[in-house]
Amino acid sequence: MNAQKMMGILGLAMKARQVSAGTDACRMLIRSGKCGIVLADVKTASNTRKKISELCQKNGIPIRILPNGMIEEATGRTNMVLGICKSGFSEQIIRLLQEDQAQQGSHNEVNDS
């Protein structure tokens, strides 16, 4: 994953107030229909992650797990769950995650040979 790019986008989204930080704020954003993607730290409690995942699945919102500490480093907050509003920021994050997934897929194909 291009961690620097991801952290840059998250930092800008925070400054633009396009992020809901924390579990309760994310739930409210998801239920409002304005959430584009949810990001959770890998160290998020399993019960919290399960509840947020179920809510995202019910509402058709993608959820991705980020490496430990990335959210805190990018935003300066200790929140483990972020909801990104439907905007250019959520689209950029989704695109970046898709590119990363495609690169990992091509690396796996090369390594399998």
| Under 8 Å between Cβ of 66 and 37 | no
Do residues 78 and 25 lie in contact, with contact meaning Cβ atoms separated by under 8 Å?
Answer: no
Q: Which CATH superfamily is domain 3-112 in?
A: Ribosomal protein L30/S12 (3.30.1330.30)
Structure confidence by residue, pLDDT tens digits, 15-48: 999 999 999 999 999 999 999 999 999 999 999 9
Cβ neighbours, 10 Å, residue 39:
25
Q: pLDDT band for 61, please (50, 70, 90 cuts).
A: very high
Residue 42: strand, helix, or coil: coil
The pTM is what?
A: 0.86
Q: Any residues with CB less than 8 A from the CB of 43 and at least 6 apart, and which?
A: 68, 80
Tens of pLDDT along 1-13? 588 899 999 999 9
Q: Which letter does DSSP use for residue 77 in this model? A: S
Query: Comparing 110 with 54, which gets the higher pLDDT?
Result: 54
